[in-house]
Structure 1
Amino acid sequence: MPTAFRARKVLFVRERTDRKDLMTTLGAVFRPQLPPERLRDVAQAADKAGLEQLWLWEDCFLESGIASAAAALAWTERLHIGVGLLPVPLRNVALTAMEAATLHRLFPDRVLLGIGHGVQSWMAQVGAQAESPMTLLREHLTALRALLRSERVTTDGRYVKLDDVALDWPPATAPAVFSGAVGPRSLRLSGEAADGTILVAGTPPEKVRRARELIDEGRAAGGRTDHHEVVAYLHAATGPDGAARLAAELERWGDASISDIGAAGNADAVAEAVLRLANAGADTVILQPTADEPDPEGFVRFVAEKVRPLVP
């Protein structure tokens, strides 16, 4: 490890001494731009390499988050599988709870599920756009977490309506429910009503720090004192053409003018970017490859074998 990077790593640990745990969880994304049949090889490569988490997306109109997660969990032994996120306008909350409970019972302690507003233009395409996405997300979070706590739920909300509903096969222990959030209102809602927050790639360290503050405001408003996990995605590209691919990716996302939201190059460069997000308040950093990543299996091995040893 280069001396300069080692010094920055030590400084990072010192700056985080007020945190309850110094361990930063590391993971990667399986992009749904890859066909579903590629998932098995990528998941098994991640599992064999010792990667902690592999995250999937339920983007319209690409791949199912739940079906993909079930397959990836069945193909692997220890890898944690996350879905970030399930768009609630597409889903009845009872179905979400049933699917979540089934996965958690089949694969205890290996499932991470997040829900969110969804992309509003996509929701409009399928006739599911809500007039008040915030109200829908709050109602869905409240009912989903109650069902997963083995509660019997009756509610007559604006969007979520349940009449004496309880799961016959709830998880043995109530799992964390994550919420995707971007704006201040969504971040406060996530702190109040969810167990963790997912931040999109393109969130620089200063905005991660501000997101933490807004989440904590929501937690205080809701009287929450439990742990709240913050998951941050980070654009990443490796290899001789990594910088060019990353630049093109940021251009596609409309983020080319934002600094410090991606990393290209070797493991040291990527690890430094991870540490900046972690120092800003991210508990988990998920490396997001470019949509045209030429070697997805190699990418997850790179994260597990090269970057992981450089991150506390």
Structure 2
Amino acid sequence: MITMKGFKELGVAMTGVFPVSEAVELAKVAEEYGLGSAWFAEDYFFRGGIPYMAAAAMATEKIRIGLGVVNPYSRHPALIAMEFATLDEMSNMRTVFGLGSGVPFWMEQMGLYDKKPLSRTRACVDLVRKIMTGENINHEDKFFTAKDIKLVFEPVRKSAPIYLAFEGPQGLELSGEIGDGVILSIFSTPAYVKSAWEHVAIGAKKVGKSLDDYEMVAYMPTVIDDDLDKAINIAREFSKLYLPHSQPGGPLMSHAGVKPEDTTAMFEAAKKGDDALLSELIIDDFVKELCLVGDKESCIKRLQQMVDAGANTIVAFPVPGADPIENAKILGSEFTHQLK
């Protein structure tokens, strides 16, 4: 039986599409309106998530500051530990660090991706945690080398939380086994959340770990607007950045009713630069299933469905064309207290 701690909080996210000043303002507004967390994406090749986090940490006092996510390819675990510990000090222990394999398409563009993301991530988490203890570390495996590595400052927390981010069943099981939480991909649906919990539980069971304090974070592209058609069209434009690179037949799309041939067609349209065709392929039903769109009443209903499925923390992912600041105000002042 899966034991979950129930609804925790609503949060906001910020991507590198937006200027740093807007990211900081969003974190400040989120804190002012009672939201629990602000998450910052590291999407290549946009603005970097870690500078966002640092700026937000210095501008706020209470809200959790999360990174969702870095990967085990572009940074050595020693650098991840160093940055993690520094951000945790800056935020007075409010930092949550997300680690995942990244978007394969982006990794391949830099020649960084390999075919063993789970093994590499496991090794990375293990080494980051060792370095975060502040002790002298000598470590060698097929992925990473650490020769007499020791942080020259004392981390404020020697066991700060690391959340993993994976879509597939094996990655989710690894998240349950070694992670303090899991960050689900954007476009998560209630059906996918339920399935994700099942796999997280399998991983936790391997090591006899309780899930009482385990957190499942779900990102939802958010456009709150009384004009549903307008909201759908705004979210559709955003979806063009991500849906074509989704795994055809993967669990995320399958649980949303998006067939493999649909995803493949989106990829081919995006590759050819056929924006009109891509708009036709991302039909309204896909947008309504994969995003948080519409008026306040319908958005509250959808959020509750996500909570009922097991999403502890739901994060409003910013969509160009929608106002993330206004969304944060609505989430905090009107939505948070209605969810249970």
Match for residue 35 of structure 1? 19
Aligned residues: 294
Q: Find the aligned partners of 1:274 and 1:67 in 2 and give their Cα distance.
A: 30
The letter of the residue matching 1:296 is P
The superposition leaves residues 63-84 of structure 1 with CA deviations (integer Å, 9 ceiling, x where unpaired) of 2221110101101222221110
Match for residue 9 of structure 1? none
Q: Find the aligned partners of 2:174 and 2:4 in 1 and give their Cα distance.
A: 23
Q: Secondary structure at the match of 1:88?
A: coil
Match for residue 242 of structure 1? 231
Matched, 1:267 2:296: yes
Match of 2:79 among 79, 95, 106: 95
Match of 1:280 among 284, 309, 314: 309
How far is the alpha carbon of 1:301 from its aligned partner? 1.2
Match for residue 174 of structure 1? 159
How far is the alpha carbon of 1:213 from its aligned partner? 1.0
The letter of the residue matching 1:288 is F
Change (3 A) 1:139 1:279: same
Matched, 1:215 2:200: yes
Match of 1:291 among 295, 309, 320: 320
The letter of the residue matching 1:189 is L
Change (3 A) 1:154 1:222: farther
Contact 2:222-2:317 within 8 A present in 1 as well: yes
The letter of the residue matching 1:302 is I
Q: Find the aligned partners of 1:185 and 1:19 in 2 and give their Cα distance.
A: 20
Q: Find the aligned partners of 1:136 and 1:20 in 2 and give their Cα distance.
A: 28
Matched, 1:231 2:259: no
Contact 1:57-1:63 within 8 A present in 2 as well: no
How far is the alpha carbon of 1:224 from its aligned partner? 2.5
Contact 2:184-2:219 within 8 A present in 1 as well: yes
How far is the alpha carbon of 1:220 from its aligned partner? 1.5
Task: Choose 104-113 or 52-61, whichever is displaced more.
Answer: 104-113
Contact 1:155-1:161 within 8 A present in 2 as well: yes
Q: Find the aligned partners of 1:149 and 1:228 in 2 and give their Cα distance.
A: 22
Stretches (4+) displaced over 6 A? none
Contact 2:36-2:64 within 8 A present in 1 as well: yes
Change (3 A) 1:196 1:76: same
Q: TM-score, normalised by structure 2?
A: 0.79
Match for residue 7 of structure 1? none
Match for residue 302 of structure 1? 330
How far is the alpha carbon of 1:115 from its aligned partner? 0.9
Contact 2:6-2:307 within 8 A present in 1 as well: no
Q: Which runs of 5+ in 1 are unaligned?
A: 1-17
Change (3 A) 1:249 1:170: same
Match of 2:175 among 190, 195, 212: 190
Q: Find the aligned partners of 2:6 and 2:104 in 1 and give their Cα distance.
A: 37
How far is the alpha carbon of 1:232 from its aligned partner? 0.8
Q: Find the aligned partners of 1:151 and 1:208 in 2 and give their Cα distance.
A: 38
Q: Find the aligned partners of 2:307 and 2:31 in 1 and give their Cα distance.
A: 23
The letter of the residue matching 2:23 is L
The superposition leaves residues 230-249 of structure 1 with CA deviations (integer Å, 9 ceiling, x where unpaired) of 11112221123223323444
Q: Find the aligned partners of 1:43 and 1:310 in 2 and give their Cα distance.
A: 22
Q: Which runs of 5+ in 2 are unaligned?
A: 244-257, 259-281
Q: Find the aligned partners of 1:247 and 1:86 in 2 and give their Cα distance.
A: 26
Change (3 A) 1:119 1:247: closer
Match for residue 62 of structure 1? 46
Q: Secondary structure at the match of 2:67?
A: strand
How far is the alpha carbon of 1:277 from its aligned partner? 1.3
Query: Over aligned residues, Cα RMSD in angstroms?
Result: 2.2
Q: Find the aligned partners of 2:177 and 2:170 in 1 and give their Cα distance.
A: 11
Q: Find the aligned partners of 2:112 and 2:56 in 1 and give their Cα distance.
A: 28
Identity of aligned residues (%): 26
The superposition leaves residues 143-163 of structure 1 with CA deviations (integer Å, 9 ceiling, x where unpaired) of 112322445433211111112
Q: Find the aligned partners of 1:151 and 1:223 in 2 and give their Cα distance.
A: 27
Contact 2:70-2:99 within 8 A present in 1 as well: yes
Match for residue 271 of structure 2? none
